[in-house]
């Protein structure tokens, strides 16, 4: 699955004076790609390098980060949002800060400016599933989604892994 993603991440790192943690330490992986820990050779601290499989997911995520950066968004309702540090279109790589809980992550499935057109049934089923996943925290998740929508960002990949509460 990740056979060509890690080499692309390493190439990005080499171009940007970063070093991928060895062994390649993954912060996560999923259907869209893999996120690796990287260190800046000249500075203290770590960052995340995300290699995306598909160009459409890469462009969606990049555009969301650019919008968040332009709006100066560092958190939404007290939930940390990774900060955009750089990218490489040819490699489909996004470099970002690593954030601690509570957080909102992963924008590869997000849509900008218009809510995706799904049937009422699909939206209803989606909401039922998300309510079950988040249980008593669903009201907070809805408020977070509303805040993103105020920025013209419609999050679809909503999960406990992407919206992480403190505990």
Distance of alpha carbon 167 from alpha carbon 156, whole angstroms: 23
CATH number of the domain where residue 27 is located = 3.30.200.20
Task: Please tell me the total count of domains within the chain.
Answer: 1
- Yes or no: say if 52 and 32 are a contact pair by the CB < 8 Å rule: yes
User: Over 50: is that where the pLDDT of 72 sits?
Assistant: yes
Kindly report the pTM of this predicted structure: 0.92
Residue 130: C-alpha distances to residues 46, 90, 133 (Å): 32, 35, 5
> pLDDT at position 23, please?
62
Look up the domain containing 79 and give its range: 5-164
Q: Using one digit for the tens of pLDDT, what is the confidence trace for 100-128?
A: 999 999 999 999 999 999 999 999 999 99
Q: What is the pLDDT of residues 15-69, one digit of tens each?
A: 999 999 876 556 777 789 999 999 988 777 899 999 999 999 999 999 999 999 9
């Amino acid at each position: 699955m990740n056979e060509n993603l890690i080499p692309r991440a390493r190439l990005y790192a080499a171009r940007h004076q970063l070093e991928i943690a060895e062994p390649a330490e993954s912060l996560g992986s999923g259907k869209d790609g893999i996120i690796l820990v990287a260190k800046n050779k000249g500075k203290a601290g770590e960052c995340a390098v995300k290699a995306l499989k598909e160009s459409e997911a890469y462009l969606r995520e990049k555009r969301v980060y650019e919008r968040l950066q332009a709006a100066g968004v560092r958190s939404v309702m007290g939930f940390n949002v990774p900060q955009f540090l750089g990218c490489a279109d040819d490699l489909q790589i996004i470099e970002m800060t690593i954030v601690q809980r509570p957080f909102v992550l992963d924008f590869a499935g997000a849509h900008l400016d218009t809510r995706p057109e799904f049937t009422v049934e699909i939206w209803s089923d989606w909401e039922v599933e998300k309510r079950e996943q988040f249980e008593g925290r669903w009201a907070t998740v809805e408020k977070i989604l509303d805040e993103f929508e105020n920025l013209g960002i419609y999050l679809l990949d909503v999960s406990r892994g992407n919206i992480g509460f403190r505990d």
